Amino acid sequence: MLAGCGKEKNVKPTVSSRDIATSVPVQSTSVNTTLTYNVGFELPVQKVITLIDKNTLKMVYNETVNLLVDPSEYDRAWGLRLTENFSSSALASFDYTTVTKEGHVTKNWVDENLNNVILKGKADTSVNGVKKVKVKIERAFTFTKEYTTPQLAIAEQNAILARQNDIISFASFYYSEDKKISPATAKAQVIYVKN
């Protein structure tokens, strides 16, 4: 499914405001608690391959996201979550399929709980001298739309290939019963290429 992997040049971690070495104190009159979502992102440009199959436009998006997380939080958390928002890209108007860890094909749904996802890997690293775990996520989305003629599908493909400002937004957080904590967020540029 994946052609290969390698280190992207000029890719630097996008560090969320919550990706800090110390905890973010929460003001409380009764209990002094500490809440953290020490999640940072390494987001290379996200590549979408477009192709025409008769009168259907297909776009294959191999999501590539590295999360930088606090090792102790990662070890004790119930689950690390990752969500995608395609609304600022051409992908938003297409249906998509993904394949679950168990091999089931799902339509317009992807599991956000990374406990249920086959990870590309994880490795120890450091950011500004602070130890982190790099969680590598790579998974495939296949977006499709059927048109009445092949010419209409080709015209849509050409319009998408010309788009230059599309982005995908990501949010990541540890599972928490405290609904007041906002997830760490980041955006990645999308490029469309013709197969």
Q: Where are the alpha helices (DSSP H) in 12-143?
A: 71-76
pLDDT tens sequence across 141-160:
999 999 999 999 999 999 99
- Residue 44: pLDDT over 80: yes
What is the distance between the alpha carbons of residues 15 and 20, in angstroms, rounded to a whole number? 8
Of 35, 38, 34, give the one whose Cα is nearest residue 70: 38
Q: Chain-wide mean pLDDT for the chain? A: 83
What is the distance between the alpha carbons of residues 94 and 143, in angstroms, rounded to a whole number? 6
Mean pLDDT of 94-111: 96
Question: Dihedral through CA 138, CA 65, CA 193, CA 61, nearest 10?
Answer: 40
What is the distance between the alpha carbons of residues 75 and 154, in angstroms, rounded to a whole number? 48
Give 61: exposed, middle or buried? Use CB within 10 Å, 0-12, 13-18, 19+: buried
Give the pLDDT confidence score for residue 175 in this predicted structure. Answer: 77
Q: Which has more pLDDT, 26 or 176?
A: 176
Cβ 187 vs Cβ 42: under 8 Å:
no
Question: Dihedral through CA 160, CA 51, CA 88, CA 145, nearest 10?
Answer: 100
Pairing of strands 46-53, 184-194: parallel
- Helix, strand, or coil here: 85? strand
Mean pLDDT of 64-72: 93
Give the pLDDT confidence score for residue 30 in this predicted structure. Answer: 31
**Phi (first) and psi of residue 152, to 5 degrees:** -65, -40
Q: Which has more pLDDT, 14 or 51?
A: 51
Question: Whole-model pTM?
Answer: 0.79
- Residue 3: pLDDT over 70: no
